Each structure stands twice: as C-alpha cells, then as structure tokens.
Chain A
Amino acid sequence: MSQPGDGIRVALFATCINDVMFPNTPKAVVKLLERLGCTVDFPFGQTCCGQMFTNTGYYKEGLTTVHTYVDAFERYDYIVAPSGSCVGAVRHQHPMLAEWAGDELLLARVCKLVPRTFDLSEFLVDVLGVTDVGAFFPHKVTYHATCHSLRVTKVGERPYQLLQAVRGLDFVELPSDEAGLPTAEECCGFGGTFSLKNPDVSVAMVSEKVRNILATGAEYVTAGDNSCLMNIGGLLHRQKAPVKAIHLAEILASTEEDAA
C-alpha cells in the first residue's frame, strides 16, 4: 500500500531539550513519520537552535549554534522538529543573527534552510497532506496553543485538525475567559529565561493556565512544545493534579497496539 511519506527523506531535528529531557517525543516522531512512509535520519551534528542565547540577548553565542545547525542540516530537503518554538527560532532568529554578524555567506546558507525547516504539524498537514495519521488515543485531551507555535511559526489550525482525527480522542477546548476570548492562546509564563528572571510573574501566569486546564476535566494537556509543557507539567505535578502533560507527537504516534 502506498504511503503519504513514500520516497521522502526527513532529517529529524530533535531539539536539545527533547534530546536530554524528553527523548520520548523525538522517538514518537520517528515512529510516526516511519509509519507514514518517510525515511528518517538523525544528523549527529545537531545541538540546539540557540534561542535561549538569542532571547537572553547573547547574540554572539547564538551565532555559534546557527553554524552548527547549518552544518548539520544543509544536505536535507526536509527538516522536521517537534517544536514550534525552535522552528520559529530557525526561521526568524537565524537570519537575524547572520545579518547582525554581517556574514553574507552564512545568511545565504541560512535562507536556504528556512523554508526547509518544518514544525511537525506543518510537515504532516502541508507536506504529507494528512490530518488522519492513523492514531488512536482513547483519552480526554485539551490543547494549549503555545505562543511561538501560534504567533511566530503560525501553525494555525493544524494541531486541532490532527487531534480531531485521532480515534478515541475526546477533545475539549480550554475555556474562554470572562470576556469571551480563548485562553488557549494565552502565554503559560514559560518564556525561557523569563521563568528564571521573573519567577513570580511566570508562576502567576502558569497558575492561571493550570486553573483553566483543570476546569476542562481533561486527563491530558498537549502542545507542540515540551518547554511549555515542562512549565505547565511542573506545576500540575507540584499540585498533584490528575492531569498529565504530553507532547502532540506522542499522541499522534499512539496506536491501538499501544493501548492494548
């Protein structure tokens, strides 16, 4: 039987945080993409997208990771990361840093990679053209849009489409605020080093996010970024709340066999 990913070779950009803290997410990406027919490579030259440096103001340091990124992925047509945030960094910060450094050659190399770097949800929906990835996940799930997926990488409705096509999944939206606006779009308060530099504000923000999540009665909260989920999950865990944080990729990779 032919598969949407037949003949497509994908370089997996695991992202540093997943590599060290959340290996199950890139493993899920591998499983999912292979199930859809893709060939998956993991280039060992990869490290980090550098946004922690760049966002904290350390451009020179961020620039070193632009070089590692370009060196590692240059030979691939499709680079897929389970992170709207890291993809956003590649698309916007890498060109900015190359320009800042006045490095024309690097800028040219970066600009070639920008349109070839995809968030998982974009790759599935836009490149492979699938929303039903054959997943099965018999649980009540809510979704946090994450700021960078939503407003920087602009993944739009794709994660919703993917979740809605998962068999057995009972999807529940995060509630609207008292003025009728969707709270799914509000920041969870992570913000990288923001959570360390302004911990009190960060905690005030995540507390509200967690309250909204609990109000849905969901068993799982999912998102396209483990950094935000680590923030949300960290508070859920501290409160011993009965909700688990899980990356979108892990839901999409699940099948009936896993449930059995």
Chain B
Amino acid sequence: MTRLTPAPPPGKLIDSPPFKVNAKKELANPVLRKNLRFATHTIRAKRRLRVSEVGEEAWQQLRDAAAEIKDRVARHLDTYLLQLEETLTAKGAVVHWARDAAEANQIVVDLVKAKQVQDVVKIKSMVTQEIDLNESLEANGVAAWETDLAELIVQLGHDRPSHILVPAIHRNRSEVREIFLREMGRYGTPAPADLSNDPPVLAAAARTHLRNKFLAAKVAISGGNFAIAETGTLVIVESEGNGRMCLTLPETLISVVGIEKVLPTFDDLEVFLQLLPRSSTAERMNPYTSMWSGITPGDGPQELHVVLVDNGRTQALADEIGRPALRCIRCSACLNICPVYERVGGHAYGSVYPGPIGIALTPQLRGIKSVIDKSLPFACSLCNACADVCPVQIPLPEIIVHNRNRVAEAKQSERRPHLETTAVGAMTWVWKNPKHWEKMLKLAGLSGKALAALRVQSLGPLPPPISAWSNARDLPAPPAQSFREWWKRNREGAQ
C-alpha cells in the first residue's frame, strides 16, 4: 500500500540499540553537533536571563509552589481525574480512558473513522508521539498532518523528533530548505522553486503548505499542557498559532492527554504559566495560550473527545523515588543544559523523551527490559545541571541513580556472571574492611615501584575494559607509596 504521509525511519524506538552505540553514531556527525551546540547554548543563556529577571527568590517560590501542586496531584490523582471527567462531561465533552498506547490509538482511530475523513491536522503533542498515533492512523488509512513548523520539518524529512520542544533542533536552515523543496509537493502545496534558506521565507512556505490542510480538516488532534479538574478546562501553550487554528477550525477535536497533566484548580495555572515559557522558549510569556472548556454552541469544534492516557504513568506513580518524574511539564530546560544531550542529540535515546527527563522517565514508563531502556540510566555523568534548572524541581539525578539501581539489581539476579557484577563484588570485599584495602594499596604500591623501575610514569593505551578510558586518555601510574603507607612511616611514631 502506498503511504499517505512521509514514512519515518523504520523500526520501533524501543528496539533501538543501546545508548552507547547510538551515541557513537551521532557523535560522528559534525553538522549535527554544530547545530545542537549552537541551539542549546543559545537557549541556555536566554533561559538564564529570563529567570534572572524574575529574581532568585521569587523564582524559587514559584518552583516550590509548582512542585507542591504537582505532588498534591500525584497524591490524589484518582480524585482529580474523576473530578475532571465530571466537569468535562458536564460541559459537553466525551471522556475516554486508555490504559496503554494500543487502547489510546484504537480509541482515536475509531473516532476518526466514524467521521469518515482521510485527513486530520495535529498540534504538536508529546503523548501522541509516545503512543505513535500517527503510524496507527496511517495504518488505518488516515493521514495525520503535523502543523507545528518543526514537527512539519521532521515529518517531511522522514525523520524523528530529537527534542521535546524543538523537534527539528538537529536541522539547520539549509537542510530545512532542501526538505521543503523535495517533499512539500508530494504531500500538498509545493514550496516555491526559488525558496531561500531565510527563516521568514521558510516559515512562509510552511504557512502556505499548511493553509489548505487547515481549511480542509474536519478533525483535529491535540495534546494538552494542563487539564483543570475544577473547571474542565484544557490548556495549550504554543508559539506559532497553528494550535489555535487546529483548536478552532475543525468540527471535531480529539485531545489526547496524559493522566498526570491534571491540575486541581484554575488558580494553579498562574504558577505554571510563569514557569513554563521562561524555562522552555525563554520567553516572558508564550505568544498563544488556548483554553477550552467543553463545547460552546456556534463557536469552535462542536464535538470534543478527551482521551486520558495512562501508558505506564500509574507504574511510575507507584514508584516512590520515580514518582516526581510525573511533575514534568515538558519544558525541555533539562535537555538544553545537559552536556550529554548537547553532544548526541535526541535520536540516541531511543525514546520520544530524550535527555535527563528521558532517562529518568522512560525507564519508569516502559520498564527496563529492552537493551535501550537498560542502557538509558547510564547516559549521564551525574553533573546535576538539570536538577538546578528544572522548574518543577524534579530530582532528576536521584531518579536516574534509582533507575540504575533497578538495572543493577536485575543484572545481579541473573544467574550468569557479568564482568561488572564480578568487579563490584571484588571491590566490595576490598572496601568493606580497611585491612583488605590496605592489602590492595600495598599491591598498587608494588606495581607502582615496578613501573617506576621501568621509568613508566603514565600508562597509555591498555586492554579492555580499561581501554574505554585509555584509548583517548593516559592514566597516571600508581605511586610506589600510598598515602596510608606514608602516614605510617612518617606520622605514626610522631603521635
């Protein structure tokens, strides 16, 4: 069957090779590294400026409030969700519950099919990426068109998003120009033949390409940044206005929302609408904030479906250490500050959630069974920069280390010997007892002496597993005398 929309790269994300392998591949791409470095450093500096405008103390108060609100939601999630269902229903929306990706996709596919349409327009949404909704729709003969500029670039580029806010962060303008010239005509209004790589010109081409899709669409699909239990209001913050088009023009709106997005009251928004734009796009206020509460006769979509998705969230909720990961408002500040993300980009993570939140949240949502999920928690140097910028104060390094603990325990419970668990066992013996450690120090001292006799001061390339270190870095030779030895000789008597 011929495809309706551009095909993304083959395979499922969860079947990705381990992080290390993906990272090596991405590191070898100098254009990617340049694009990413420029983009992350620029946004990092802007975020810092926007946050400093608020003042350190006021910013911290906002972060505290946000964390408290989100923790309250986590504690009483059942109550708030039922309240949300009630208020939404009272205002004319239809609420659907989805346990996992398959259920959520089936619900949306059925709804769209009932409308007998071949095309739907979409607002950028992380949860629909997570459940891979576009491919489910495609398989059922429905073309889902991304209308966010960067998502459009990714879709037309037969690509996958590499960032949760700026999905095409890995592309520069000349790449975008090439994609538009090559692909737009195949899927609708073509780009003008004299397209330049000037950003306003590129944006204008996207606008023209999308216009007909907006005007023709009878069904739109959105996510939701917040869902207010008190009022049954869904909220989307965006920059381009494409969301506003999707939310107002079509007759039917299907909003797919993760269950952790619920907020108790309308007043709570005050906190998040201050934190989110400054942390994400480094704006004081985002250009478009859309809110809709059910159906308004004669105004906007006359049919509203809200699909509330679990897909691993209750599993994260049940994990006391992992739970705060559900506070995430997907601002991407942690990605932008992450030295690992900066160098490898989002594709290396085998998850729609890359960077620090990705390696904290993905193994919570998907578990630690696949090779990629087992490797994700280790894609981090524990530099802690992410914890400092997270607007909802998720203790990302703690959750990451906790995920490592889950992986390590799983490894230890396997029967076959691992190099790592064996080494860890040996070092535990050494460090458990100072006498054992002293023996080890003596051994190191002897090898240090031997090396000194050979006039070796530093060790170059060594065999595996140390080669991981020594392929690029020297290792100093151990000194002939440990500190302990020195103290014994020189100080013991003196005391």
Binding site for B on A (CB under 8 A): 14, 16, 18-23, 26-27, 30, 41-42, 44-48, 50, 52-59, 61, 64-65, 67-68, 72, 96, 147-148, 151-152, 177-181, 185-187, 189-206, 230-231, 233-235, 237-238
Using A23-B481, A205-B343 as known contacts, list a sample of 6 further A-B pairs with CB atoms less than 8 Å apart, ordered by residue number in A: A42-B484, A45-B434, A61-B424, A147-B381, A201-B343, A206-B473
Which residues in chain B, 404-445, are within 8 Å of chain A measured between CB atoms? 404-409, 420, 424-425, 427-428, 430-434, 437-438, 440-441, 444
Q: How far is the CA of A111 from the CA of B482 in the complex (A)?
A: 30
Residue from the list A68, A185, A201, A202 in contact with B431, Cβ < 8 A: A68
Contacts of B124 in A (CB 8 A): none
Q: Are A56 and B408 in contact (CB under 8 A)?
A: yes
Give the Cβ gap from A42 to chain B, nearest Cβ, in Å.
Answer: 5
Contacts of A181 in B (CB 8 A): 41, 44-45, 48
Give the Cβ gap from A147 to chain B, nearest Cβ, in Å.
Answer: 4
Binding site for A on B (CB under 8 A): 19-20, 23-24, 27, 38, 41-42, 44-45, 48, 339-340, 343-344, 377-385, 387-388, 398, 401, 403-409, 420, 424-425, 427-428, 430-434, 437-438, 440-441, 444, 458, 460, 465-466, 468-469, 471-476, 478-479, 481-484, 486-487, 491, 495
Q: Are B479 and A56 in contact (CB under 8 A)?
A: no
For chains A and B in complex, what number of residue pairs have CB atoms within 8 angstroms?
A: 197
Contacts of B405 in A (CB 8 A): 57-59
Q: Are A233 and B476 in contact (CB under 8 A)?
A: yes
Give the Cβ gap from B397 to chain A, nearest Cβ, in Å.
Answer: 8
Q: Are A23 and B404 in contact (CB under 8 A)?
A: no
Contacts of A196 in B (CB 8 A): 465-466, 468-469
Q: Are A16 and B437 in contact (CB under 8 A)?
A: yes
Residue of A nearest to B387 (CB): A151
Give the Cβ gap from B28 to chain A, nearest Cβ, in Å.
Answer: 9
Q: Are B483 and A27 in contact (CB under 8 A)?
A: yes
Q: How far is the CA of A54 from the CA of B427 in the complex (A)?
A: 13
Contacts of A14 in B (CB 8 A): 483-484
Q: How far is the CA of A62 from the CA of B435 in the complex (A)?
A: 18
Contacts of A195 in B (CB 8 A): 381, 468-469
Listed A/B pairs (17) with beta-carbon separation below 8 Å: A19-B441, A19-B482, A26-B483, A47-B431, A48-B437, A58-B424, A64-B432, A65-B431, A151-B388, A179-B45, A186-B339, A186-B383, A194-B381, A195-B381, A199-B468, A230-B475, A233-B476
How would you classify the secondary structure of chain A's contact residues: helix, strand, loop or mixed? helix
Give the Cβ gap from B105 to chain A, nearest Cβ, in Å.
Answer: 34
Q: How far is the CA of A174 from the CA of B152 in the complex (A)?
A: 40
Q: Are B473 and A234 in contact (CB under 8 A)?
A: yes
Interface centre among B378, B381, B408, B478 (most CB of A within 10 A): B381
Give the Cβ gap from B43 to chain A, nearest Cβ, in Å.
Answer: 9
Q: Are B473 and A198 in contact (CB under 8 A)?
A: no
Residue of B nearest to A205 (CB): B339
Q: How far is the CA of A16 from the CA of B427 in the complex (A)?
A: 12
Q: Are A147 and B383 in contact (CB under 8 A)?
A: yes
Q: Are B472 and A199 in contact (CB under 8 A)?
A: yes
Q: Give me the 3 closest cross-chain CB pairs, A-B, nearest first.
A: A191-B381, A57-B404, A234-B473
Q: Are B406 and A57 in contact (CB under 8 A)?
A: yes
Q: How far is the CA of A112 from the CA of B67 in the complex (A)?
A: 29
Q: Are B473 and A20 in contact (CB under 8 A)?
A: no
Q: Are B424 and A231 in contact (CB under 8 A)?
A: no
Given A53-B428, A187-B383, A191-B382, the answer on whether A46 and B23 have CB atoms closer than 8 Å is no
Contacts of B475 in A (CB 8 A): 230, 234
Q: Are A18 and B483 in contact (CB under 8 A)?
A: yes
Q: Are B472 and A23 in contact (CB under 8 A)?
A: no
Contacts of B468 in A (CB 8 A): 195-197, 199
Give the Cβ gap from B140 to chain A, nearest Cβ, in Å.
Answer: 40
Contacts of B427 in A (CB 8 A): 52-53, 61
Residue from the list B378, B440, B483 in contact with A198, Cβ < 8 A: B378
Q: How far is the CA of A231 from the CA of B474 in the complex (A)?
A: 8
Contacts of B495 in A (CB 8 A): 41
Q: Are B474 and A191 in contact (CB under 8 A)?
A: no
Q: How far is the CA of A194 from the CA of B383 in the complex (A)?
A: 11
Q: Are B486 and A47 in contact (CB under 8 A)?
A: no
Residue from the list A23, A59, A61, A191 in contact with B383, Cβ < 8 A: A191
Residue from the list A18, A179, A198 in contact with B379, Cβ < 8 A: A198
Given A65-B432, A201-B343, A237-B474, the answer on whether A19 and B381 have CB atoms closer than 8 Å is no
Q: Are A56 and B404 in contact (CB under 8 A)?
A: yes
Contacts of B430 in A (CB 8 A): 47
Q: How far is the CA of A197 from the CA of B425 in the complex (A)?
A: 18
Given A68-B434, A189-B339, the answer on whether A178 and B482 have CB atoms closer than 8 Å is no
Contacts of A151 in B (CB 8 A): 383-385, 387-388
Q: Are A20 and B424 in contact (CB under 8 A)?
A: no
Q: How far is the CA of A30 from the CA of B483 in the complex (A)?
A: 11
Q: Are A20 and B408 in contact (CB under 8 A)?
A: no
Contacts of A190 in B (CB 8 A): 381
Contacts of A186 in B (CB 8 A): 339, 383
Q: How far is the CA of A18 from the CA of B478 in the complex (A)?
A: 10
Q: Are B473 and A238 in contact (CB under 8 A)?
A: yes
Q: How far is the CA of A13 from the CA of B466 in the complex (A)?
A: 27
Give the Cβ gap from B56 to chain A, nearest Cβ, in Å.
Answer: 14
Contacts of B407 in A (CB 8 A): 57
Q: Are B482 and A200 in contact (CB under 8 A)?
A: no
Q: Are B444 and A20 in contact (CB under 8 A)?
A: yes
Given A147-B385, A198-B378, the answer on whether A20 and B441 have CB atoms closer than 8 Å is yes
Q: How far is the CA of A106 from the CA of B438 in the complex (A)?
A: 25
Give the Cβ gap from A169 to chain B, nearest Cβ, in Å.
Answer: 24
Give the Cβ gap from A198 to chain B, nearest Cβ, in Å.
Answer: 5
